[in-house]
């Protein structure tokens, strides 16, 4: 698997400055989980934000409704003593028939924020309700009938009302950062967010187009520049390691830092670019800046950990992934990466312990979203490690069936079936990797220990000749 590590492989990879990248990043909602709350604070008030309903006459404002809800959700995560159900989990619910009691039980939250949006031209009407999931009582409700340019004030009013009702406050040293931009630019930005959240290769490209449209209208829109940098960086890391993507990521990241130096995402995108350029010391500074701005930002901890993996500092990477898993206590990805690192560090007992916890989290995600390809794909490897071979094969087969043309899934399938001893199936999968996968090249394939079981097969040598040097 792209993300799996076995004994001895790290020594080889460090010598060649190669590391395994999480190439299934976009296979599903890759870096989401149930809670984004302060780690360890189980007594904190908790909330899930559902996607807002589109009540516009034409019914074509779904992206705007989702974007508004996501913006409010992101703002709520700034509050230290508030646990917020993350997007991938809470956005599985919604609509007029949403059962708040069921949502409360499944997401383990005490309250739910519901809303609707009626957008027509320059007119905007947003309604919101905060509902207790136990008693079903309405804790707060509000209606905002304003112009489109007032959308940022509506954000603030809803967030402030919710937090006041729940009795939580921002840390005294946190300064609210507002970016008043042209409403048309913001509209394109929200379109980009909705596309990016789908986590597919093509949607990543479409999202970047929307972010660039926002920049055409508002050239100094730092958030849009940061998102452009992020999308190029993700494409480079996981799909197309071209010089163009690297250069564009660097250019957009530099612009984002110039325009929005106090924006967490500006430093995260810069850290990713530095990692890609193997400028690990600079990357560390950027990720530390991001964490300083928002210590609850999962992506900062996660990509900081990935950078340390690339650098070869496995012990530090392990600690960063542990922190990421606490920032998002239901996230399976950071936990299963810990299992792989513990295996590489010859801590087999700990690896098995963490793997079991990772599988528990995977099952929780699949209960809400059975077709989550990321969970199925990573979970299959974890089950194989635990010796649950038949279920592991079922999960991998389901993952591959849902993405038959995805070279990343096919490559992971090759690694999986190689480890499972199914040589012909593994070779079939490898042969289906018809395009370059992220940073994978012929040297990588020749040293990926997951493929050791098929290395001497004649078909293997025929296949790898088609990969770039």
Task: Specify whether the CB–CB gap between 169 and 163 falls below 8 A.
Answer: yes
pLDDT at 15: 36
d(CA 54, CA 57): 9
Q: Residue 133 phi/psi, 5° resolution? A: -80, -15
* In the predicted structure, residue 47 carries a pLDDT above the cut 70: yes
* pLDDT above 70 coverage of the chain, percent: 84
Burial of residue 196 (CB within 10 Å: 0-12, 13-18, 19+) is buried
CATH code for residues 181-313: 1.25.40.10
d(CA 125, CA 316): 48
Between 168 and 406, the more confident residue is 168
Pairs from 119-125 (Cβ < 8 Å, separation ≥ 24): 119/56, 119/61, 119/64, 119/148, 120/56, 120/57, 121/148, 122/147, 122/148, 122/149, 122/183, 123/147, 123/148, 124/148, 124/150, 124/151, 124/154
Between 242 and 440, the more confident residue is 242
Task: Specify whether the CB–CB gap between 44 and 81 falls below 8 A.
Answer: yes
Q: Is 46 helix (H, G, I), strand (E, B) or coil?
A: strand
d(CA 54, CA 67): 11
> Mean pLDDT lowest for which of 86-95, 175-184, 276-285, 295-304?
175-184
* In the predicted structure, residue 1 carries a pLDDT above the cut 80: no
* pLDDT above 90 coverage of the chain, percent: 51
Q: Residue 288 phi/psi, 5° resolution? A: -65, -35
The label of the residue with tokens 């070869």 reads 312
C-beta atoms surrounding 129 within 10 Å: 16
Q: Is 131 helix (H, G, I), strand (E, B) or coil?
A: strand
Q: Tell me the fold of 1-34+330-469.
A: 1.25.40
Task: Specify whether the CB–CB gap between 259 and 221 falls below 8 A.
Answer: yes
Task: Specify whether the CB–CB gap between 396 and 27 falls below 8 A.
Answer: no
Cβ neighbours of residue 349 under 8 Å, at least 6 residues apart?
none
Q: Tell me the fold of 46-167.
A: Rossmann fold (3.40.50)
* In the predicted structure, residue 22 carries a pLDDT above the cut 80: no
> Mean pLDDT lowest for which of 101-110, 275-284, 316-325, 447-456?
447-456
Residue 190 tokens read as: 């929200």
* In the predicted structure, residue 65 carries a pLDDT above the cut 70: yes
Pairs from 419-427 (Cβ < 8 Å, separation ≥ 24): 419/1, 419/4, 419/381, 419/384, 419/450, 419/453, 420/384, 420/389, 420/392, 420/393, 421/453, 423/453, 423/454, 423/457, 426/451, 426/453, 426/454, 427/454, 427/457, 427/459, 427/460, 427/463
pLDDT at 199: 75
pLDDT at 35: 43
Q: Is 397 helix (H, G, I), strand (E, B) or coil?
A: helix
Which stretch, 11-20, 279-288, 429-438, has highest mean pLDDT?
Answer: 279-288
pLDDT at 461: 86
d(CA 266, CA 230): 9
Burial of residue 262 (CB within 10 Å: 0-12, 13-18, 19+) is exposed
Domain boundaries, the chain: 1-34+330-469, 46-167, 181-313
Decide whether 1-34+330-469 matches 46-167 in CATH topology: no
């Amino acid at each position: 698997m792209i993300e799996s590590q076995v004994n001895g492989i790290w020594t080889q990879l460090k010598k060649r400055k190669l590391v395994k990248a999480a190439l299934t990043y976009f296979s599903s909602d890759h870096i989401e989980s149930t809670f984004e709350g302060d780690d360890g604070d189980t007594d904190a008030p908790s909330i899930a934000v559902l996607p807002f309903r589109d009540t516009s006459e034409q019914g074509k404002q779904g992206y705007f409704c989702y974007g508004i809800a996501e913006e409010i959700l992101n703002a709520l995560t700034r509050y230290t003593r508030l646990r917020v159900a993350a997007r991938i989990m809470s956005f599985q619910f919604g609509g007029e028939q949403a059962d708040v009691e069921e949502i409360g039980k499944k997401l383990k939250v005490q309250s739910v924020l519901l809303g609707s949006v009626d957008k027509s031209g320059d007119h905007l009407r947003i309604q919101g309700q905060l509902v207790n999931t136990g008693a079903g009582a309405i804790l707060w409700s509000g209606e905002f009938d304003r112009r489109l340019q007032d959308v940022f004030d509506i954000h603030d009013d809803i967030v402030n009302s919710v937090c006041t009702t729940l009795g939580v406050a921002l840390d005294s040293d946190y300064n609210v950062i507002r970016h008043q931009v042209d409403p048309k630019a913001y509209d394109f930005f929200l379109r980009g967010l909705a596309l990016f959240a789908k986590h597919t290769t093509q949607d990543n490209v479409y999202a970047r187009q929307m972010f660039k449209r926002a920049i055409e209208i508002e050239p100094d829109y730092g958030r849009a520049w940061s998102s452009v940098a992020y999308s190029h960086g993700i494409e480079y890391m996981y799909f197309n390691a071209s010089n163009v993507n690297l250069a564009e990521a660097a250019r957009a990241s530099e612009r984002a830092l110039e325009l929005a130096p106090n924006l967490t995402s500006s430093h995260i995108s810069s850290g990713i670019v530095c990692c890609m350029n193997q400028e690990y010391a600079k990357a560390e500074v950027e990720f530390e800046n991001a964490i300083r701005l928002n210590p609850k930002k999962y992506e900062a901890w996660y990509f900081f950990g990935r950078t340390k993996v690339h650098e070869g500092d496995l012990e530090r990477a392990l600690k960063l992934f542990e922190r990421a898993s606490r920032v998002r206590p239901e996230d399976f990805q950071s936990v299963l990466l810990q299992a792989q690192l513990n295996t590489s560090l010859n801590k087999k007992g700990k690896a098995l312990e963490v793997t079991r916890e990772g599988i528990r989290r995977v099952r929780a995600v699949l209960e809400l979203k059975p077709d989550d390809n990321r969970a199925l794909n990573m979970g299959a490897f974890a089950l194989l490690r635990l010796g649950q071979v038949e279920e592991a094969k079922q999960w991998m087969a389901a993952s591959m069936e849902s993405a038959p043309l995805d070279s990343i899934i096919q490559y992971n399938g090759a690694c999986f079936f190689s480890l499972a001893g199914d040589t012909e199936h593994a070779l079939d999968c490898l042969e289906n990797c018809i395009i370059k996968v992220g940073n994978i090249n012929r040297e990588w394939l020749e040293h990926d220990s997951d493929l050791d079981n098929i290395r001497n097969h004649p078909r293997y040598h025929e296949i790898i000749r088609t990969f770039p040097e």
